[in-house]
Amino acid sequence: MASQVVTKIELSSLPKLASGKVRDLYEIDDKTLLFLTTDRISAFDVIMANGVPWKGAILTQLTAHWFGVLAERIPGLKTHFLTLAPPAGLSPPETELVRGRSMQVRKLRVFPIEAIVRGYITGSAWSEYQKSGTVHGLPQPAGLQRCSPFPSAIYTPSTKAELGQHDENITPAQAAEIVGERYASRIEALALQVYNAGAAYARERGIIIADTKFEFGLDEETDDIVLIDEVLTPDSSRFWPADEYEVGRDQDSFDKQFLRNWLIKEGLKYKEGVAMPPDVAEATSARYKDAFKRLAGKTLDEALAELD
């Protein structure tokens, strides 16, 4: 695949269906999408002007790796993954552009909630707990400290906001009103099952997955709930190095901490349109690659070589 950093992609051979903060979705046919990940990165909810080398490939290859691991550990799990091969019919330069950073997936009706699972208390959950003893409205045991593990992982959904809006934390009961009783408890059980399997796998490899966000779709022909989107990546999860973990204080995240520290030092936090200097982009890239290698047990180069 081409090693250039790509923050914007316009394919001419396929119709574009949607564009998110990080991905572009193209329609291959009425049942199949090209799920294409750029090198864009956000910090403090703001997208940087330039990208992180290899980030799109890392997120794509890591998600594909997880689909394999999870299918082994959760019998009967359905996912949207079809293949890492670029679709036929792209021009040679476009094929090179998407190779490694894209996958073909089944096009499904997306449940409009974010299925968040938390194993450890941090972020907005910690803020809420300090005020009310609850997390997403759910009462929690007394005496939790900053970054404590929950006695067992909890399902804490949020709304799925439009681009530019912020997701809102909701209770599982509110999520059930959105997706319907018919699917709510199955989504909750699946989200917990996938988190627990993924967190155990990552822990064996020195990474704590403090919390994560899943998305699910519906296979309308079989009524099956299908795991979609990216899965257990540093963008959709908080990854902490297990050997540095200490309860009672904030943890350095694996991937974006370097960028966040630089933004704070330069007084650029929340500023739009900031370009990272090359050393910051490279250091961030190295951290994403390190997380990939620990979890996949191979380097990104090795994973990409397997594609050819």
Nearest approach, Cβ of 267 to ligand ATP (angstroms)? Answer: 25
Which one-letter amino acid corresponds to residue 55? K
Interface of this chain with ligand ATP, residues 48 to 87, rule: CB under 6 A: 80
- For 269-274, the CB contacts below 8 A with 24+ separation are 269/44, 270/44, 270/45, 270/46, 271/46, 272/46, 273/49, 274/46, 274/48, 274/49
β-bridge mates for residue 108, sequence order: none
By the rule CB under 6 A, 229 interacts with ligand ATP: yes
By the rule CB under 6 A, 110 interacts with ligand ATP: yes
- The smaller minimum CB distance to ligand ATP, of residues 16 and 106, is found at 106
By the rule CB under 6 A, 146 interacts with ligand ATP: no
Give how many residues touch ligand ATP by CB under 6 A: 17
Is the torsion defined by CA of 254, 34, 192, 205 positive or negative?
Answer: negative
Interface of this chain with ligand ATP, residues 265 to 304, rule: CB under 6 A: none
Nearest approach, Cβ of 161 to ligand ATP (angstroms)? Answer: 8
Nearest approach, Cβ of 18 to ligand ATP (angstroms)? Answer: 6
Write the DSSP assignment of 27-58 as a string of letters.
EEETTEEEEEE-S--EETTEE-SS--TTHHHH
- The smaller minimum CB distance to ligand ATP, of residues 118 and 129, is found at 118
Contacts of 68 (CB under 8 A, 6+ apart): none
Q: Can you list the positions of beta strands (E) in the chain? A: 16-19, 23-29, 32-37, 42-43, 46-47, 81-83, 102-106, 109-110, 113-120, 134-135, 138-139, 149-155, 158-159, 207-219, 224-228, 237-241
By the rule CB under 6 A, 112 interacts with ligand ATP: no
For ligand ATP, the binding residue among 103, 215, 251, 259 (CB under 6 A) is 215
By the rule CB under 6 A, 8 interacts with ligand ATP: no
- The smaller minimum CB distance to ligand ATP, of residues 34 and 199, is found at 34
- The smaller minimum CB distance to ligand ATP, of residues 188 and 229, is found at 229
Write the DSSP assignment of 153-165 as a string of letters.
EEE--EE-PPTTS
- The smaller minimum CB distance to ligand ATP, of residues 105 and 176, is found at 105
Nearest approach, Cβ of 306 to ligand ATP (angstroms)? Answer: 23
Rounded Cα–Cα distance for residues 250 and 266 (Å): 21
Q: Which range, of 3-11, 99-107, 115-123, 246-254, touches ligand ATP by CB under 6 A?
A: 99-107
By the rule CB under 6 A, 217 interacts with ligand ATP: yes
| Cβ–Cβ < 8 Å for 81, 98 | no
**Phi/psi at 52 (5° precision):** -105, 120
Q: Which range, of 22-30, 59-67, 170-178, 199-207, touches ligand ATP by CB under 6 A?
A: 22-30
Q: In this chain, which residue has its C-beta nearest to ligand ATP?
A: 20
By the rule CB under 6 A, 194 interacts with ligand ATP: no
User: Where do contacts with ligand ATP occur on this chain (CB under 6 A)?
Assistant: 20-23, 25, 33, 80, 105-108, 110, 163, 215, 217, 228-229
